[in-house]
Structure 1
């Protein structure tokens, strides 16, 4: 909602979009730090502005609406205040003029960054629902997008200011929650003492923020409130420090790909930490509480606010810091295809209008239909091209993994002994899944299915009417398994059919890294299991035929010996 309001003002009604009050009025309004009521001091007053007509440099003003110096005030709004010094108190009011500052030029860029953070946060939260750490990280990205840089009524603006500042304060603690969850999943379990310390830190944050909110709402300060500002900064620093400590500890203990993921998280975190340092420096040294376009550090803030999410997005796509898997793949592929086709349609239509200049609505409609038909006919080629190159860039490990499995399935038909094929398939399942639990079962008639090879927490046998084989017979494709203790740690089941008979099945546990089995992976594994099942059945049939031939030969030999013995007895 905040981003939508921001877009409405920044993109569609730029004539009324402005900075905060100080930028809109042509002066800097610096808050006083004396105990008691907070006033503002006029600094850098620009001549020729409505405010310059009624006040002078250095005047002390008491605003009618205490938080008006933080608000973005719309064109034509009344700005009321009381001049309390120098001289006798005097109540004044001016009409806010049209804003002509630099914010109009940078609003679109800033809004695109906001949309980027928001989209990434929503994607994380939606795709990883149920994963506490990933949900916390998604909320952190969403909280970072909340802004109050749009004109709004006083009470409404106070709501968005509160949400914006609460989001900034909560981001470090949400990132710490993600780091603890990531560390707990990949390195070692989080201890109770660490959980309690995190809870205490969050409680201190809530208390400090409530005190700060009271100060902003009532424009009141005191030594306690000054100390609370320092305490809030210490708490945020502790949250960042704790996150760095957790990720650095994971980095020291990890190796290989996990170590690379920890390093990327650390770099992205340090970029975000640098962003907070810039904002803190602006507040304490420059006395600028708002990162508006007139702030000297605004450009640095914009760059840092984009670099962190960009690096994190790269880590997600390239190194699977969080498993967004199949949904990201499809989003990238079809998003790119849609963009290419829409651009092609627009450019083609523009070229036709410019050079062919069709006359009449009917001719234009026919040309548009032909263009659309041509794009429709090229859709699959464009999709295949985009899919190939995007997946080669971001999802190369998928292709390598699938290609190795397909090669194994092709070569498996040349293995000559069932026990060798079973052992080879077991090794391939372990490699493909990254070390997940597995088991391969073959049918034994009414007795059910017996495990030929297995690893991890898998049962020795499966009843013929167990829910897993029943579902496989019903759907004739791979199925997901719910919370069923009788199936051990299995999460998916794969069928082995020979004609209409389920001659065997494969059970797979969750991947070692906690990633989900994508739909395309499940389909490929089901095809592999089916083909291996057919190969095993063929080897068994060959063994039976060979054994039958051997028995027939033995019977023939016995018959021949029997005839010889009978002939010898008759002669005797």
Structure 2
């Protein structure tokens, strides 16, 4: 038999290509990174919830980065604090015997050894012992909880996508990017600031932060090439260029942090890092937009949702986060930028969840039905109301025992009365978002069953049955068989194979 060109083209369209798979080693490594990011975020929440009792201070504020000679300028010195008692004054410069001490978090009772250079140029070697720092305010604790929970939600989403990726490159890269984006920051906790482990922690944090925009760009490139091979060379070159630049900036930033000095003419490179990172994220969104324009059918909707989720998450957690750091590093809830970060991140997470649950951009491995969705919804509402009750008890001033009893009783009654109404409203909204098509298909099938009794010709009834069941099953193949004396005979439709 002779195989024609037309036969080859048809076979290429019908038979799926063998899809490449990511090595299990990379999958395990990405999952471990995501788990460690969650651990870091959880430790931050735990420390803030306890009021940071182990965090010590030298009673001074250092300049953001040290100079080329390794000395850091003291911007503020607290009167009566450990450094002030050691003879330090505002405007003096300090160089720690252990360079990482300029950046890590101190534990109460640690002894710092350093060289002090006064503004007059007098150099002397001193020591100071850290004391307990001021307890964070309730508003500061709440802000820390909200932001860290937000980062944890992003990291959990990344871990879920990784586990369900099937090692497919595009899905794997999305999960790895989200898992890395879940790291709340390079600033260490007290637990991570042990001098024995701090260099390893900083190396991990810098590598993760530098890899995140590159992973998102790699994900966007892969998603674009999945639907349109044009521009492969261009996007591959762009990805390679940004990977090299990010690696160089990562190495330099890590060196400045661990050695507490900068190179002349280069400085701290913070502006260059911010520009490159933002440009990398912007190109990721641009590549996803190109994939969306080239896609057709259901894939177009999936890519549109991934485009929106990526833009919201990266824009909020990187763009807005950078703006907060550049405008005074105020992470309190009184800063509108913090609310913009929280709202943008929440919106991005919800869009991503909708894309996964409703449009199945990731194979969940189980059916999403009403019981599952409403069970998760009810549990989420109970947790939310529990958090509200906890926040009221901790952040509202209670002057007497009687006031506390009345407040608890009123809060419990209010939550009881509101819970079912809120749940009904949200369930109605969820029903419209997730199950509208199912409900419509069910209504059409019921209408067909009612009208089927009026069909008089068997062939017409079989044809209508196949069409109705196909619509109800979302376009799945349907076959109708009739019972005969020796078995069953196909009378309508058909199944593949």
The equivalent residue for 1:236 is 277
The equivalent residue for 2:130 is 95
User: Please, which of 202, 206, 213 is the counterpart of residue 247 of structure 2?
Assistant: 206
The equivalent residue for 2:431 is 391
2:322 matches 1:313: no
**Distance between the aligned counterparts of 2:182 and 2:479, measured in 1?**
49
CA gap 1:446/1:50 in 2 versus in 1, 3 angstroms = farther
Contact 2:305 2:351 in 1 (8 A): no
Contact 2:256 2:268 in 1 (8 A): no
The equivalent residue for 2:190 is 151
TM-score normalised per structure 2:
0.66
User: Please, which of 114, 123, 127 is the counterpart of residue 81 of structure 1?
Assistant: 114
CA gap 1:274/1:338 in 2 versus in 1, 3 angstroms = closer
The equivalent residue for 1:565 is none
SS at match of 2:73: strand
Contact 2:83 2:128 in 1 (8 A): no
The equivalent residue for 1:170 is 211
Q: How does 1:134-533 map to 2 (within 5 A)?
A: 134-147=171-184, 148-152=187-191, 153-185=194-226, 187-189=227-229, 192-194=232-234, 196-197=236-237, 199-201=239-241, 203-204=243-244, 205-222=246-263, 232-233=273-274, 235-253=276-294, 265-271=306-312, 272-273=314-315, 275-280=317-322, 291=329, 293=331, 300-301=337-338, 303-314=340-351, 316-317=353-354, 320=359, 322-323=361-362, 326=367, 332-338=373-379, 390-408=430-448, 411-412=451-452, 415-428=455-468, 431-432=471-472, 438=477, 440=479, 442=481, 452-454=492-494, 458-459=496-497
The equivalent residue for 1:569 is none
The equivalent residue for 1:133 is 170
1:52-71: CA deviation from partner (whole Å, max 9, x where unpaired): 33311111111233233332
CA gap 1:300/1:426 in 2 versus in 1, 3 angstroms = same
The equivalent residue for 1:29 is 63
Contact 2:97 2:113 in 1 (8 A): yes
CA gap 1:145/1:340 in 2 versus in 1, 3 angstroms = closer
The equivalent residue for 2:90 is 57
How far did 1:279 drift? Answer: 4.6
Contact 2:100 2:258 in 1 (8 A): yes
CA gap 1:332/1:417 in 2 versus in 1, 3 angstroms = same
Q: Which runs of 5+ in 2 are unaligned?
A: 1-38, 390-404, 407-421
**Distance between the aligned counterparts of 1:44 and 1:299, measured in 2?**
26
How far did 1:297 drift? Answer: 10
The equivalent residue for 2:399 is none
SS at match of 1:56: coil
**Distance between the aligned counterparts of 2:287 and 2:330, measured in 1?**
34
How far did 1:142 drift? Answer: 2.4
Q: Which runs of 5+ in 1 are unaligned?
A: 348-353, 356-381, 460-572
CA gap 1:312/1:402 in 2 versus in 1, 3 angstroms = farther
SS at match of 1:68: helix
**Distance between the aligned counterparts of 1:217 and 1:448, measured in 2?**
77
How far did 1:150 drift? Answer: 1.9
The equivalent residue for 2:155 is 118
Contact 2:466 2:480 in 1 (8 A): no
How far did 1:306 drift? Answer: 4.5
CA gap 1:31/1:255 in 2 versus in 1, 3 angstroms = same
CA gap 1:451/1:29 in 2 versus in 1, 3 angstroms = farther
1:44-100: CA deviation from partner (whole Å, max 9, x where unpaired): 333343333331111111123323333232333333322134312323223132333
**Distance between the aligned counterparts of 2:97 and 2:188, measured in 1?**
20
TM-score normalised per structure 1:
0.58
Asked which structure has the greater RCO (Cα within 8 Å, sep 6+), the reply is: 2
CA gap 1:192/1:258 in 2 versus in 1, 3 angstroms = closer
**Distance between the aligned counterparts of 1:31 and 1:399, measured in 2?**
60
CA gap 1:439/1:334 in 2 versus in 1, 3 angstroms = closer
How far did 1:43 drift? Answer: 0.7
Q: Aligned residue pairs: how many?
A: 411
